[in-house]
Structure 1
């Protein structure tokens, strides 16, 4: 390595050198659905993607909950979905469970996930779900347009912050297929047994720990993954290759 060369580039990390033909659902315009539970974020994203006199993108729908997002996807064709990772208000699960559902039922849609959560095992789990881009919500909004343009041309995009985190954990190389690597051994034990269908009491008896300890270790694992619902934990186990 050249000593003068920085370990991490300040530029976003892109995958794929050969641009693909953009998928255009409207004459000259790419159809986008935006989803976030904060209206100000939706407004800012729309302003960043569709400035005055721009004809590149068309926002065909906006959602403020997971339920509303799924309804829009069922009713309004789109080329790219830009969604918040966490939209906890409503009955439909958010987080990994929502992303997994979208991937299974709307696999043709190119998916960009916005989040402020930065734990490496969560970021890698999202990449394992074929998310096309990860956008840090602390980044400047104009960067969202760059991410969208990269995805439109067939490239995978990581914002600089997330790229550095994943490089630091070596998850993009040697451990890329193990997003569970950042959970402790005891947390992984609890997660594996939980997704097998065991209750907290049963896990405590088998591991000779208190129910309170089991509950805390499960909660810690979910916090690391940014999960609010048990369904997200099951989805994490599936995409990370844990034996269930």
Structure 2
């Protein structure tokens, strides 16, 4: 079944560009230029994914996200932004954002993100993570890797940026999953957000 998507960004040209990139694989069911319109469209169409810019007219992004998640629980909210501020990401994740992507994200990475995004669900702290202080859960290199995963970089892109092999990236990712008891990239990002490991 084709996934349905709502695009929310106050720049019409950007929306047009994103739509052209994704509509061959996904069904774009609406576009919004402000937070209020994004909420209305999400409620009316109940899309699988809402691609949401954080700098739009209307309510604050946290309010937009929480309202969408409350009124359309099946909708995953993916944040598209030029900002990689870890504190902002943590706030939006707590509001219900499922994933984050820099607006310079590659076409393939964006497609993967939409295809695999699941609605954020609040969950209790993970057993096993409570036993160790946050700064001892992951190594410095693993923190570098998970920060880039949170920005939707591919393993190949991470390997180039960190000057390590793609196999080494995969090994770090496997270790991250094991330490966080995570089942996917999105799950791992959610858990490091809850642990505040993305804060600078």
TM-score range, shorter chain: 0.5 to 0.7
**1:161-185 deviation per Cα after TM superposition (whole angstroms, max 9, x unaligned):** 9x99xx9xxxx67884348965xxx
Structure number with higher helix proportion: 2
After superposition, the Cα gap between the structure-2 partners of 1:130 and 1:100, relative to the gap in structure 1 and judged at 3 Å, is closer
Query: Who wins on radius of gyration, i.e. which is larger?
Result: 1
Residue 34 (structure 2) pairs with residue 65 (structure 1): yes
| Alignment partner, residue 7 of structure 2 | 34
SS at structure 1 position matched to 2:65:
helix
After superposition, the Cα gap between the structure-2 partners of 1:142 and 1:47, relative to the gap in structure 1 and judged at 3 Å, is farther
Question: Residue 195 of structure 2 is aligned with which of 177, 194, 200?
Answer: 177
Matches within 5 A, 1:112-123: 112-123=78-89
1:49 is displaced (CA, Å) by 0.8
SS at structure 1 position matched to 2:20:
helix
Normalising by structure 2, we get a TM-score of 0.58
Tell me, which stretches of 5 or more residues in structure 2 are unaligned?
121-148, 162-175, 177-188
How many residue pairs align between the two structures? 140
| Alignment partner, residue 45 of structure 2 | 76
1:94 is displaced (CA, Å) by 2.8
Q: How far apart are the structure 1 equivalents of 2:87 and 2:10?
A: 24
SS at structure 1 position matched to 2:117:
helix
1:130 is displaced (CA, Å) by 3.4
Contact 1:125 1:179 in 2 (8 A): no
| Alignment partner, residue 164 of structure 2 | none
Q: How far apart are the structure 2 equivalents of 1:100 and 1:60?
A: 21
Question: Residue 99 of structure 2 is aligned with which of 133, 136, 146?
Answer: 133
**1:5-37 deviation per Cα after TM superposition (whole angstroms, max 9, x unaligned):** xxxxxxxxxxxxxxxxxxxxxxx3221111100
Matches within 5 A, 1:1-244: 28-50=1-23, 54=24, 56-87=25-56, 89=57, 92-151=58-117, 158=150, 159-160=152-153, 176-178=194-196
Tell me, which stretches of 5 or more residues in structure 1 are unaligned?
1-27, 183-244
Q: How far apart are the structure 1 equivalents of 2:193 and 2:40?
A: 36
After superposition, the Cα gap between the structure-2 partners of 1:127 and 1:43, relative to the gap in structure 1 and judged at 3 Å, is same
Normalising by structure 1, we get a TM-score of 0.49
